[in-house]
Amino acid sequence: MRSFGSDNNSGVHPRIMDAIVESNTNHAIGYGDDNWTRRAEQAMQTLLEDDSITPYFVFNGTGANVIALQACLSSFHSIICATTAHIAVDECGAPSKLTGCVLKEIPTTDGKLTPKLVATQLHGFGFEHASQPKVIAISQTTELGTLYTPQEIKALANLAHQHNMYLFMDGTRLSNACAITNCTIKEMTVDCGVDIFTMGGTKNGLMMGEVLVALRPELEKNLKYYRKQTTQLYSKMRYLTAQFIPYLSENIWLQNAQKSNDAAKLLASEMKKFDCIEITQKVESNSIFFIIPKEISDKLLERYFFYEWDAARHEMRLVCSWDTTQEDISEFISYLKELTT
C-alpha cells in the first residue's frame, strides 16, 4: 500500500535499518550506558555546536513533549498553545495529566502563535486564584503544515523571557522546517532563544525515536527522572540511539526532510490545476490541506488512505514522506483526473 495518510506510515530508511542491525552485536550495558548512545549524543552536540548539552533519546513524540513540559512546570502553571497543537488535540490529555497544568488554547487560522495572540493569555501573574502562565508551546512545523520563521520564533522567545516564561518547541517536523528555510538546527533553536525542544525521527525515516534537548541548565537537571517516570527510558537503548548516529552525522535528517518537502510541493502544484480543489494552507513543509467535493474524496478514499481534517468544511490532509516517489504522485493525480472528468 502507498498512501498520503501520514509520514508515520512510511518505512525505515535503509541506512537506518543497517545501523540497527550493526548494533546487534555482543552485549552492551543497558539504559544508555553504551558506545552507541555516546556517539549519538556527540552527533547532536556537533549539530548544536555545544558539547555541554545532554540529549535525551526517547521512543515517541508524545513522550518527548510531556517530558519537556514536566521539566518546565509546576502544577499551578499553565501552557499557552494553539488550538491545533498536538499537545492539545492528539495526546489524549497526557500533558495535562502528567504536569497537572491547564492548557490555554488560542484559535489561529494557520496554526501559528504570535506575540499579539499570546498576550491575550498573559495575565494573573502572582494572583493565587489564577493558573500562572509559564510555557509558550509551539510546533515547528505546525500541525497545519505552516512554518515559523526564525524571526517569529525569536519574537515569541523574547516575549516568554520578558515574563519569566519558557519557550518550548515541539520539533516533530523540525527537520522539514530547517530544510525549507536552509537553516541549521542550531539557527532554528539555540539562536532563536528556544529554551527546550524536541527533534523528530519517527516521521522522517527512523523506525522509532525522538531526541529531547534542554538549553537551560535548570530544565536539564531532572530530565533523566522525568524520562524514567514517563516510561520513555529504553533498557536496550543502543537499538534506539544507533539510528541517530547516521541520522544526525550523515545528514539523513535533512536529506529525508528535503525529499518529503519536495514531494509535497510537486503534489500541491499538480492539485492546484484542478478547479474543484482549494488549497487552504501554505505548503511550507510536507503536508497539504485542501477542500474537495465529497463525492470525489469518497472515491479517492477507496484507493488511498488519508485523513479528513475538518469535517465541517470537508477539509482533507495529505502528507508526503521521505520515500514518496514521483510515481506515487503521478498515479494519485492520474486517478484524480479520472474522477473529475
Q: Does domain 256-340 have CATH number 3.40.50.720?
A: no
Residue 100 has pLDDT above 90, yes or no: yes
Closest to 260 in 3D by CA, of 198, 172, 191: 172
> Residue 81: in which H helix or E strand, if any?
strand 77-82
Residue 32 has pLDDT above 80, yes or no: yes
Closest to 236 in 3D by CA, of 263, 209, 213: 209
Rounded CA-CA distance 177/179 in Å is: 5
Closest to 78 in 3D by CA, of 155, 130, 140, 153: 130
pLDDT band at 341 (very low <50, low <70, confident <90, very high): confident
Which pLDDT value is given to residue 2? 85
Average pLDDT, the chain: 97
Residue 154 has pLDDT above 80, yes or no: yes
Which pLDDT value is given to residue 243? 98
Which pLDDT value is given to residue 327? 97
Bridging pattern class, strands 315-319 and 287-291: antiparallel
Rounded CA-CA distance 211/41 in Å is: 10
Residue 56 has pLDDT above 80, yes or no: yes
Which pLDDT value is given to residue 140? 98
CA–CA–CA angle 201, 205, 211 (5° rounding): 10
Q: Could you give the percent of the chain with pLDDT greater than 90?
A: 98
3-state secondary structure (DSSP) of residue 317:
strand
Rounded CA-CA distance 39/310 in Å is: 43
Q: At the top level of CATH, which class does the domain 15-252 belong to?
A: alpha beta
Report residue 79 CA to chain centroid gap.
17
Burial call 213-222: b when 16+ CB within 10 Å, e when fewer: bbbeeebbee
Which pLDDT value is given to residue 159? 98
Residue that is written with C-alpha cell 558506545 in the block: 35
Residue that is written with C-alpha cell 509551539 in the block: 138
Rounded CA-CA distance 193/160 in Å is: 10
3-state secondary structure (DSSP) of residue 213:
strand
Domain range summary for the chain, segments of one domain joined by +: 15-252, 256-340
pLDDT band at 1 (very low <50, low <70, confident <90, very high): confident
Bridging pattern class, strands 132-139 and 77-82: parallel
Section 86-93 average pLDDT: 97
3-state secondary structure (DSSP) of residue 200:
strand
